[in-house]
Amino acid sequence: MSAGDPSALKGGPRSEDDQQAHELAEMVAGIARRHIEPRAAAIDAEETFPWDVVQAYREAGLLCVLVPAAFGGAGGSLFDEAVIAEELARTDGSAAIIFTTQSICTELLVDMANEEQRRRYLSRVVAGQLLAIALTEPDAGSDAASIRTTARRAGDEYVLDGTKHFCTNGDVADLILVFALTAPGQGARGISLFAVERPSPGLRITRHDKKMGIHGTTTVEFVLEECRVPESARLGPENEGFQAAMRALERGRVAIGGSAVGLARGAMDYAVAYARERKQFGQPIASFQGIQFMLADMAIEIEAARRLVYYAARLADRDPVAFRAMSAKAKCFASDVAMRVTTDAVQVLGGMGYIRECPVERKMRDAKILQIFEGTNQLMRVLIARDLIGRL
Ligand SMILES: Cc1cc2nc3c(=O)[nH]c(=O)nc-3n(C[C@H](O)[C@H](O)[C@H](O)COP(=O)(O)OP(=O)(O)OC[C@H]3O[C@@H](n4cnc5c(N)ncnc54)[C@H](O)[C@@H]3O)c2cc1C
């Protein structure tokens, strides 16, 4: 199979020992080499949304990996998603986040849409439209059940009012999946999910955030002011949106783990190559044990993170109860590894590691977000401890 062959995406679930998984990784690595690597530094410096990369994803079918084959997608698994995210992140963090954002939104659509909505919305995903998810609000981050955006029924419509922030790609997406209160005062049991078209009357982007890293994604705040959506845009039953968000986030954490492994691998590979070339005291710095041990620790941690992410991916369908804590462990461990490895990669490069033109500097900035979004790593530890101890 040649690199860039979209047929590698077809064919259902794979496992890590599978030849198909290698073919998938090869295919994605080919896309990253051709379309992302030559552009990654410029995208980071200019902070522009990479429509050319999105177009490459469209052509390769990467925007609809999780859409079931019956609806024209690749029918991919969480394992496929982890492999793809890893390969993209090996080259560039933003490129992986564009993919994982599309995937978590697809999860929500597949989970919550009825047959008619699946036909309506998933066909657009297959056609290459972009999706965004809007749960977080200025006063509702980790405590996502405390959102204030409301969706009031008015005949056969809902009227949405509120402010969402930190919405990845909210200004470039065609459809934003918005969580809003349909039963105010009921907390998590009063939240529903809506597919809101962009543009829509009453939906206004109010801020573009400047970020530390992942400059090839946009992060926006938007307000909903008397934003009317038809009843047919409500995904799933009323007041069951929060549980859907938690399910999607649980599954999405596998791909965040995959992205973390990829970022770390990219940084380690660069550090190894640099350490072999760079000479001080008349010898390659790779000959110093202090450098060797840093590189060895990177390799150990990356391998462990990778196995944990793959294990969590496999558990998703086999044991949904055990999966809950495992996906949190995978996301938390892998993103902590990505942060440590990218930081140490900068250290291996010395002053060069701190310079913008050097890719490990970008990787270190990109890694940080993985410890924060889709549930901070403190929240991951809360979930893991709760699983361990039970409710007191
Ligand atoms: C670049 C970027 C992109 C994002 N994309 C999206 C998106 O597309 N859609 C979306 O809905 N959201 C998105 N988010 C939001 C993201 O998921 C939240 O930022 C994250 O969940 C944390 O919420 P917060 O920022 O309000 O932090 P807070 O909840 O205010 O947390 C602040 C600190 O307190 C800690 N903390 C909070 N509660 C506890 C606790 N119980 N125990 C221990 N520590 C705790 C946190 O770990 C953190 O260290 C994005 C954020 C960023 C920065």
**Per-residue pLDDT tens digits for 63-88:** 999 999 999 999 999 999 999 999 99
pLDDT value at position 391? 79
Q: Cα–Cα distance between 196 and 170 in angstroms, integer?
A: 11
Q: How far apart are the CA of 147 and the centre of ligand 1, in A? A: 13
Most informative mutation of 101, 106, 108, 136 for ligand 1 (most atoms within 8 A of CB): 136
pLDDT value at position 316? 95
C-alpha distance across the termini of the chain, in Å = 54
Q: How far apart are the CA of 372 and the centre of ligand 1, in A? A: 6
**226, 159 in Cβ contact below 8 A?**
yes
pLDDT value at position 217? 98
pLDDT value at position 94? 98
Q: Cα–Cα distance between 77 and 66 in angstroms, integer?
A: 7
pLDDT value at position 19? 81
Domains and CATH numbers, the chain: 6-126 (1.10.540.10), 131-238 (2.40.110.10), 242-389 (1.20.140.10)
Alpha helix ranges (H) inside 115-240: 115-117, 123-126
List the chain residues with pLDDT less than 70. 1-17
Strands 283-284 and 279-280: antiparallel
Which among 341, 340, 343 is positioned nearest to 353, based on CA atoms? 343
Residue bearing the CA closest to ligand 1, atom 12: 136
Question: Ligand 1 site: residues with CB under 6 angstroms?
Answer: 133-136, 141-142, 166-168, 211, 219, 369, 372-376, 378-379, 382
Each residue of 196-239: pLDDT tens digit?
999 999 999 999 999 999 999 999 999 999 999 999 999 999 99
Q: How far apart are the CA of 327 and the centre of ligand 1, in A? A: 17
Phi-psi group of 214: left, alpha or beta (phi > 0 → left; psi -120 to 50 → alpha; rest → beta): left
pLDDT value at position 4? 43
pLDDT value at position 273? 98
Q: Is 288 exposed, middle or buried (0-12, 13-18, 19+ CB in 10 A)?
A: middle
Strands 234-235 and 131-134: unpaired
Q: Angle between the 78-91 and 289-318 helix axes, to the nearest 10 degrees?
A: 150
Residue bearing the CA closest to ligand 1, atom 50: 166
Q: Cα–Cα distance between 247 and 102 in angstroms, integer?
A: 16
